A and B are shown apart, each in its own frame.
Chain A
Amino acid sequence: MVQHRTIGRLLFVSANYLVLTVLALLCILPVVNVLAVSLSEGYYVGAGLVKLWPVGFTLKSYAFVAETPEFIRSVWISVERVALGGALNMLLTVIVAYPLSKEAGQLRLRTLYVWLFVFTMLFSGGLIPTYVVIRELHLLDTMWALVLPGAVPIFNVILLLNFFRSLPKELEEAAHIDGATYMQTLWRIIVPLSKPALATITLFTIVAHWNEWFNGLIYMNMPEKYPLASYLQTVIVQRDISLTTDPMMMERLADLNNRSVKAAQIFLGALPVFCVYPFLQRFFMSGIVMGSMKE
């Protein structure tokens, strides 16, 4: 791309680099702090002495996590959940977003359909009746309880249908004239052209499944079946020391508020998702796919 090399432009570019660098620093500092805490001895963490550099450097926390079977087991459950739930989410998002991206004139009841979906984004029956439904379907204590209830992520559907709508109409029309069915058009033309949008939604889906913890705690009857996020929740939740009229609580405290171990688990727990993003990033570099299109 040709650029106008003016002094103003130069100033802007330098300022831009500067601003982005500062912002990036602001964002990475807490992560560095968590890392430093995970590499410090618990005592110094408890005394508030660990900032950005480990105090009393030790790998004990990581050694401990490595020896914690629950952690590793729950990672696998989460991987399974992301694979199964993510695939289901992506499939349903695409096949629902596609018809809904049509104009009302191209699909009867389209507006009704959209609102039926949007409505569920706003209203929910709440925990108790949802639990009853899951139980009646005999999904309790199975992976399906974590995957099926949110199988159609409405937010993503709406996002994707908007992306679909922004694609040039001519391509699809041309395909239809060539005799392609809806399904052929969807998979051969629409989907390949929507890589950035699909990458975004894939990321959202993976992150959502990876981070969701509440359903795991409620729908699983045995802790051995907790996915990572649920397991982490049992570890990192702050056990408040007020209300100590029940001194049994105190025993837990000394144990559970070891922030080094918490930090190590948080760090390791987030690592896989950190890594997904750079991988998906290449789809966000503009002008890769779209070059061929002319309006």
Chain B
Amino acid sequence: MNRKRMASWALVGTLVLSAVLSACTDNKNSSNTSSPSPSSSSTSSPAPSSSASAPAMADGPLGKYDPPITVTTVRMFNSGLEFVKGQDWDNNVYTNGLKDELGIIVKNQWIVDDQQYTNKLNVSMVSGDLPDVFEVTLQQLQLLVEAGALADLTDAYNKYSSDLTKKSFGEGDGIALKAVTFNGKLMAIPNGGTTGREDSQFIWIRKDWLKKLNLQPPATMDDVVNIAKAFATGDPDGNNKKDTFGLNLDYNLFNGWAGLDGFFNGYHAYPYNPGGPTATGLNLMFLNKGGQLDYADIQPEVKTALGKLQELYKAGAINPEFSVMSGEKSAELATAGKVGMTFGQFWNAGWPLNEMKSKDPKVDWGVFPLVSADDQPVLKTSNSITPTRFWVVSKNAKNPEAAIKFLNFYLEKNYGETRDENYHSVKQDGKDIATFGLSPVLGGFSETNQNDFYAVQDAFKSNDPSKLNPTAKGYYDGIVNYRKGDLKAWPNELMFGTEDGSAYGILGTYKKNNEFMTNAYLGAPTATMAKNGPALKDLEVKEFTKIIMGEQPLDTFDTFVDNWKKQGGQQILNEVNEWLKQHQ
């Protein structure tokens, strides 16, 4: 399948982005790491046999089955998927590698567009056509465990997991492992998409607008408010029309792009409950307040920040139509040059801002750390250390350990001694085609990109890029090209370029100071959350929106808090505190 991609605009952004997000490259060359590199010490030598009693000829993490076994799985794809020429789902670097090296024949029972994956999986379950290995969400995982449909992977894990696999399970202080353990049994493999602290927010600001209005980058939240107002009233685009806004926002309110998470963080508030029609209202954020869990979105600091937003709206700094706009529309506002500041995550440079520089060199988006409203350090909301997708094994599978072996194989080929770039991506006709997604099970380590960043910085200091791994070398080359004038390579600069002017530079500082606020509740959505969560989300987004738009006075926030508790919120609080008691 071909990638649905037009050469110019998506290319740079996507390649950078895919490499960054894949989080699956080696980093043993980095020397200046703030945290231990996952593979620098660990190696999984090709299968020294660990147990003599194992059946057949498949001992050890990477032992080979002889005769080969067949393992069924199911796959989802999106229309962005592209294959290396001559390869497809049933014939690619992973299916061939697994067959030749591990003696496992991977059979794809079906392949479906990702939008219909849940439907297709459900009908397969009803028909009794469950594959051996498949991917699920947290809710599905719970249902399947409840129904007793899954294989217990504890033994397989103990017997077969490689060092790298064990390390990947241990990511995030064991949060991943905790998420897949039910009654002491290992029931799933957490999706390797655990990305450390990559969901922390930054402030993205048009530096060219700052310069034009003689403003300095923000040092406090008051500065943020003033800049936003100045962007709206000071005609930063110089067209003599009052058609610009200072702070980008859309109906999601909380989001990795144009969300308010970082704005609230500045006031030491940590609300998180995206409001769009597709949001679930299940991922609630809880704070541990003196041994009691409390809902982050109903704290008094939230009210303070909402007051500031109301002030900004009144001053015309926020698009009055934000409440009907989706994320795509708020992105349009930014690329059309109508807004000069937005809170968001590191990838905003890769989308949607990626092409602005090359289309108009005067446009100069910069990335800045979050700032505080007072002298207290600002903690950033960050929950991505908790896995959200999982691989599970059907209880009818003949070889449940195969799933563990898939992960062993994947990690070995991408991070281990026998690392092979073909298992990550392949260059074809001048573009990189990702192959890592073809593995039936994926894994990863959360510090990969961060380590690549430090490696790139070292390479610049020593003027010697020769030690960089291929991925980091890609960033390095991108930055060099950008500085030579190739404006299409701009996202590299904003993500990996400098210590204080790139997202990973700033993120590194966040990490050094350990300035994060993480959800204190790690369990699956409780019964009341599932039942009342969506309605409570509607209530919250409606109240917050009305307060921001000035349709309701700020003090209605207190009524909202009462209503939230009355309409099921108190029950949710009781449930999560019950959970806390059991997990202390």
Residues of A within 8 A of B (CB): 41-43, 46-49, 60-61, 64, 67-70, 127-128, 131-132, 135, 217-218, 221-223, 230, 233-235, 237-248, 250-258, 260-261
CB proximity of A220 to chain B, nearest CB, Å: 8
From A43, A127, A131, A244, B256 is in contact (CB under 8 Å) with A244
Closest to B199 in A: A245
The reply to whether A250 and B350 contact each other, CB–CB distance below 8 Å, is: yes
From B9, B80, B109, B331, A221 is in contact (CB under 8 Å) with B109
**In the complex, A41→B257 CA distance in Å?**
23
The reply to whether A251 and B193 contact each other, CB–CB distance below 8 Å, is: no
Q: A131-B126, A242-B274, A248-B193 are in contact. Are A254 and B350 (CB under 8 A)?
A: yes
Q: A244-B255, A247-B345, A257-B328 are in contact. Are A218 and B198 (CB under 8 A)?
A: no
The reply to whether B13 and A254 contact each other, CB–CB distance below 8 Å, is: yes
| A-side contacts of B21, CB under 8 Å | 247-248, 250-251
**In the complex, A217→B112 CA distance in Å?**
7
**In the complex, A242→B252 CA distance in Å?**
7
Q: A218-B119, A258-B9 are in contact. Are A253 and B351 (CB under 8 A)?
A: yes
Type the 1/0 row for B341-361, where 1 means its CB is closer than 8 Å to any CB of A: 000010100111011000100
Closest to A232 in B: B79
The reply to whether A247 and B195 contact each other, CB–CB distance below 8 Å, is: yes
| B-side contacts of A242, CB under 8 Å | 252, 255, 274, 276, 278-279, 327
In the complex, whether B483 has a CB less than 8 A from a CB of chain A is: no
Q: How many B residues, CB 8 Å from partner?
A: 69
In the complex, whether B574 has a CB less than 8 A from a CB of chain A is: no
Closest to A44 in B: B359
Query: Quick check: which of B140-148, B215-223, B382-390 contacts chain A, the rest being far away?
Result: B382-390
The reply to whether A42 and B111 contact each other, CB–CB distance below 8 Å, is: no
**In the complex, A64→B123 CA distance in Å?**
35
The reply to whether B327 and A241 contact each other, CB–CB distance below 8 Å, is: yes
CB proximity of A146 to chain B, nearest CB, Å: 15
Given contacts A245-B199, A246-B388, 18 further A-B contacts (CB under 8 A): A41-B6, A42-B9, A42-B10, A46-B335, A46-B352, A46-B355, A128-B123, A217-B116, A234-B113, A243-B278, A243-B280, A246-B193, A247-B347, A251-B17, A253-B351, A254-B14, A256-B79, A261-B6
Type the 1/0 row for B214-258, where 1 means its CB is closer than 8 Å to any CB of A: 000000000000000000000000000000000000001001110
Q: A242-B252, A247-B198, A252-B78 are in contact. Are A261 and B17 (CB under 8 A)?
A: no
CB proximity of B388 to chain A, nearest CB, Å: 6
The reply to whether B111 and A221 contact each other, CB–CB distance below 8 Å, is: yes
**In the complex, A243→B336 CA distance in Å?**
24
The reply to whether B116 and A254 contact each other, CB–CB distance below 8 Å, is: no
Closest to A46 in B: B335
8 A-B contact pairs sorted by A residue (CB < 8 Å): A64-B6, A217-B116, A217-B120, A221-B110, A234-B113, A246-B193, A251-B17, A258-B10
In the complex, whether B18 has a CB less than 8 A from a CB of chain A is: yes
From A41, A245, A256, B388 is in contact (CB under 8 Å) with A245
| B-side contacts of A250, CB under 8 Å | 17, 21, 256, 347, 350-351
The reply to whether B6 and A245 contact each other, CB–CB distance below 8 Å, is: no
| A-side contacts of B252, CB under 8 Å | 242
In the complex, whether B4 has a CB less than 8 A from a CB of chain A is: yes
The reply to whether A43 and B359 contact each other, CB–CB distance below 8 Å, is: yes
The reply to whether B193 and A132 contact each other, CB–CB distance below 8 Å, is: no
Q: A43-B355, A255-B80, A256-B79 are in contact. Are A243 and B279 (CB under 8 A)?
A: yes
Q: A64-B6, A128-B123 are in contact. Are A252 and B113 (CB under 8 A)?
A: no
The reply to whether B122 and A70 contact each other, CB–CB distance below 8 Å, is: no
From A230, A240, A251, B14 is in contact (CB under 8 Å) with A251
**In the complex, A235→B5 CA distance in Å?**
11
Closest to B383 in A: A245
The reply to whether A234 and B6 contact each other, CB–CB distance below 8 Å, is: no
CB proximity of B206 to chain A, nearest CB, Å: 15
Closest to A68 in B: B2
The reply to whether B9 and A41 contact each other, CB–CB distance below 8 Å, is: yes
The reply to whether A244 and B336 contact each other, CB–CB distance below 8 Å, is: no
Q: A43-B335, A43-B359, A46-B332 are in contact. Are A128 and B115 (CB under 8 A)?
A: no
Q: A242-B279, A242-B327 are in contact. Are A256 and B80 (CB under 8 A)?
A: yes
The reply to whether A247 and B2 contact each other, CB–CB distance below 8 Å, is: no
In the complex, whether B526 has a CB less than 8 A from a CB of chain A is: no
The reply to whether A218 and B350 contact each other, CB–CB distance below 8 Å, is: no
**In the complex, A135→B389 CA distance in Å?**
28
The reply to whether B113 and A254 contact each other, CB–CB distance below 8 Å, is: no
The reply to whether A42 and B256 contact each other, CB–CB distance below 8 Å, is: no
**In the complex, A158→B126 CA distance in Å?**
35
The reply to whether B255 and A241 contact each other, CB–CB distance below 8 Å, is: yes
| B-side contacts of A247, CB under 8 Å | 21, 193, 195, 198-199, 256, 345, 347, 384
| B-side contacts of A254, CB under 8 Å | 10, 13-14, 17, 350-351, 354
**In the complex, A48→B170 CA distance in Å?**
45
Closest to A258 in B: B6
| A-side contacts of B3, CB under 8 Å | 255
The reply to whether A217 and B274 contact each other, CB–CB distance below 8 Å, is: no
From B6, B274, B279, A42 is in contact (CB under 8 Å) with B6
CB proximity of B20 to chain A, nearest CB, Å: 9
Q: A243-B279, A248-B193, A250-B350 are in contact. Are A234 and B115 (CB under 8 A)?
A: yes
**In the complex, A237→B17 CA distance in Å?**
21
Closest to B329 in A: A48
| A-side contacts of B324, CB under 8 Å | none
In the complex, whether B52 has a CB less than 8 A from a CB of chain A is: no
CB proximity of B62 to chain A, nearest CB, Å: 26
The reply to whether B276 and A240 contact each other, CB–CB distance below 8 Å, is: yes
CB proximity of A65 to chain B, nearest CB, Å: 9
CB proximity of A283 to chain B, nearest CB, Å: 38
Q: Which 5 A-B pairs have the closest CB atoms?
A: A244-B256, A221-B110, A255-B80, A241-B327, A131-B123
**In the complex, A250→B252 CA distance in Å?**
16
| A-side contacts of B359, CB under 8 Å | 43
In the complex, whether B326 has a CB less than 8 A from a CB of chain A is: yes
CB proximity of B498 to chain A, nearest CB, Å: 22
Closest to B272 in A: A245
**In the complex, A193→B377 CA distance in Å?**
83
**In the complex, A258→B18 CA distance in Å?**
16
From A61, A222, A235, A253, B110 is in contact (CB under 8 Å) with A222
